[in-house]
Chain A
Amino acid sequence: MDFLNNNLLTVLIVLPLVAAVVTLVYHAAAKNENDLKWVTLGFTLLNFLVSLALFSKTAVAGASGFFFEQNVTWIRSINTNYHVGVDGLSFWLVILTTFIMPIAVLSTWHAVEKRSAAFYIFLLLLESAMIGVFVSLDLLVFYLFFEASLVPMFFLIGIWGGANRIYAAVKFFIFTAFGSLLMLVAIIALYYAYANIPGGTAAGTFDFVVILNALKMGTLTFAPQTGMLLFAAFAIAFAIKVPLFPFHTWLPDAHTEAPTAGSVILAAVLLKMGTYGLMRFNFALFPDQARETAWLFITLAIIGIIYGALVAMVQPDVKRLVAYSSVAHMGFVVLGMFSFTEMGMQGAVYQMLNHGVSTGALFLLVGFIYERRHTRDITEFGGLANVMPVYSTIFVFTVLSSVGLPFLNGFVGEFLIMIGMFQSHVLGITASVNWNYIAAMLAGTGVIFAAVYLLWMVQRVFFGKVTNDKNRTLSDLSWREIGLMVPLLVLMVYMGVYPKPFLSRTTEAVKALQERVMHQAGGTIERTGLTDPLNK
Chain B
Amino acid sequence: MVENNLLSIIIFAPLAGAVINWLIGGRLKNELFSGVVACGTILISTVVAFYIAFGAGGGALFIDKPVLDQLWTWIQVGGFRADFGLGMDHLSGIYACFITFVGLLIHIFATGYMKGDPGFYRFFAYLNLFMFSMLTLVLADNFLLMFVGWEGVGLCSYLLIGYYIKRDEARKAAKKAFVMNRIGDWGVLIGVFLVFTLTGSISFYDKSIDGTQVHSALSAFAQMAQEPFAWKAIFAGGITSAAVLLFIGATGKSAQIPLFTWLPDAMAGPTPVSALIHAATMVTAGVYMVVRCNAIYQNAPTAMFIVAIIGCATAIFAATIGLAQNDIKKVLAYSTVSQLGYMFLACGVGAFIAAIFHVMTHAFFKALLFLGSGSVIHGMHHEQDMRKMGNLRKYMPITFVTMGMGWLAICGIPIWAGFFSKDEILYRTFAASGLPPNWNYILWIVGLLTAVLTACYMTRLMVMTFLGSERFHETVPETAHAHDPAHAEENAFATGDAHDDESHSAHYAAHPVHDDDDQDDEHHELPADFRPHESPWVMTLPLVVLAILSTVGGLVGIPYALSSMFGAGDLNVFERVLEPVIMHRGAAHEPTKAENGEAAKSAERAETAVSPKAAEHEPAAVHDPEEISTERKLAGLSVVLAIAGIAIGFSLFNSNPLRRLPKILVDKWRIDELYNGYIVDPITNLSREGLWKGFDVGFIDGIVNGIGHFVMELGNAVRSLQVGYVRSYAALILLGALAVLGYFIYYGWRLVS
Chain A contact residues, CB within 8 Å of chain B: 166-167, 170-171, 174, 177-178, 181-182, 185-186, 188-189, 192-193, 195-196, 226, 229, 233, 246, 249, 252, 307, 310-311, 313-315, 341-343, 346-347, 383, 385-386, 400, 405-407, 412, 415-416, 418-419, 422-423, 433-434, 437, 440-441, 444-445, 447-448, 451-453, 455-456, 459, 462-465, 497-500, 503, 507, 533-534
Contact = CB atoms under 8 A, between A and B. Distances in A.
Contacts of B193: 418-419, 422-423, 440
Given A313-B684, A433-B235, 4 more contacts: A196-B752, A249-B700, A405-B155, A423-B196
Contacts of A229: 744, 747
A342 B79 CA distance: 9
A343 B78 contact: yes
B197 A423 contact: yes
B20 interface: no
Contacts of A314: 492, 684, 687-688, 692
B189 A444 contact: yes
B744 A311 contact: no
Contacts of A412: 75
Contact of B162 (A195, A310, A386, A463): A463
Interface string B698-730: 001100100000000000000000000110011
B189 A534 contact: no
Contact of A192 (B80, B170, B186, B748): B748
A417 to B, nearest CB: 11
B494 A459 contact: yes
A510 to B, nearest CB: 9
B185 A447 contact: yes
Interface of B: 72-78, 80, 144, 147-148, 151-152, 155, 158, 162, 165-168, 170-172, 174-175, 178-179, 182-183, 185-186, 189-190, 192-194, 196-197, 235, 237, 492-494, 517-518, 683-684, 686-688, 691-692, 696, 700-701, 704, 725-726, 729-730, 732-733, 736-737, 740-741, 744-745, 747-748, 750-752
A185 B741 contact: yes
A169 to B, nearest CB: 9
21 contacts: A166-B725, A170-B725, A170-B726, A174-B704, A181-B737, A181-B740, A182-B737, A185-B748, A229-B747, A246-B700, A310-B686, A346-B77, A386-B165, A406-B151, A406-B152, A407-B148, A407-B152, A416-B80, A423-B193, A448-B185, A462-B165
A464 B168 contact: yes
B166 A188 contact: no
Contacts of B684: 313-314
A407 B412 CA distance: 42
Contacts of A342: 77-78
A246 B702 CA distance: 13
Contact of B166 (A167, A386, A415): A386
A447 B75 contact: no
A445 B189 CA distance: 11
B152 A448 contact: no
A252 B693 CA distance: 13
A451 B178 contact: yes
Given A229-B744, A419-B80, A497-B74, A310 B691 contact: yes
A249 B704 contact: yes
* Nearest 8 Cβ contacts at the A-B interface: A185-B744, A310-B687, A342-B78, A314-B688, A463-B171, A406-B148, A422-B193, A451-B182
B165 A385 contact: yes
A293 to B, nearest CB: 18
A507 B77 CA distance: 8
Contacts of A193: 751
Nearest to B236: A432
Given A185-B748, A307-B691, A422-B197, A465 B186 contact: no
Contacts of B237: 434, 437
A444 B165 CA distance: 30
B155 A448 contact: no
A316 to B, nearest CB: 10
A258 to B, nearest CB: 18
Contacts of A171: 704, 729
A419 B692 CA distance: 30
- Count chain B CB atoms within 10 A of each CB in A434, A445, A447, A455 and give the residue with the most: A455
Nearest to A499: B75
A499 B74 CA distance: 7
Nearest to A180: B737
A310 B683 contact: yes
Contacts of A346: 77-78
A419 B152 contact: no
A177 B750 CA distance: 25
Contacts of A252: 696
B700 A343 contact: no
A166 to B, nearest CB: 7
A196 B217 CA distance: 55
B178 A455 contact: yes
A170 B704 CA distance: 12
Nearest to A195: B752
B704 A440 contact: no
B170 to A, nearest CB: 8
Contacts of B168: 464
Contacts of A533: 751
A66 B692 CA distance: 44
Contacts of B730: 174
A407 B82 CA distance: 12
Contact of B77 (A177, A448, A462, A503): A503
B186 A444 contact: yes
A444 B80 contact: no
Given A343-B80, A455-B179, A233 B744 contact: yes
Given A170-B729, A533-B751, A416 B77 contact: yes
Contacts of A186: 744
B747 A226 contact: yes
B165 A441 contact: no
Contacts of A451: 178-179, 182
Contacts of A178: 733, 736-737
Contact of B171 (A423, A440, A459): A459
Contact of B747 (A189, A246, A423, A453): A189
Contact of A452 (B77, B162, B179, B197): B179
A499 B73 CA distance: 10
A303 B195 CA distance: 26
Nearest to B728: A170
Given A178-B737, A192-B751, A418 B744 contact: no
Contact of A459 (B148, B172, B182): B172
Contacts of B183: 448
Nearest to A456: B492
A383 B166 contact: yes
B6 to A, nearest CB: 21
Contact of A313 (B76, B192, B492, B729): B492
Given A196-B751, A226-B747, A342-B77, A456 B494 contact: yes
Contacts of B733: 174, 177-178
A452 B75 CA distance: 27
Contacts of B704: 171, 174, 249
Most buried by A among B144, B166, B167, B751: B751
Contacts of B171: 459, 463-464
Given A178-B733, A229-B744, A415-B75, A448 B751 contact: no
B259 to A, nearest CB: 12
B77 A343 contact: yes
Contacts of A464: 165-168, 171
Contact of A249 (B197, B696, B750): B696
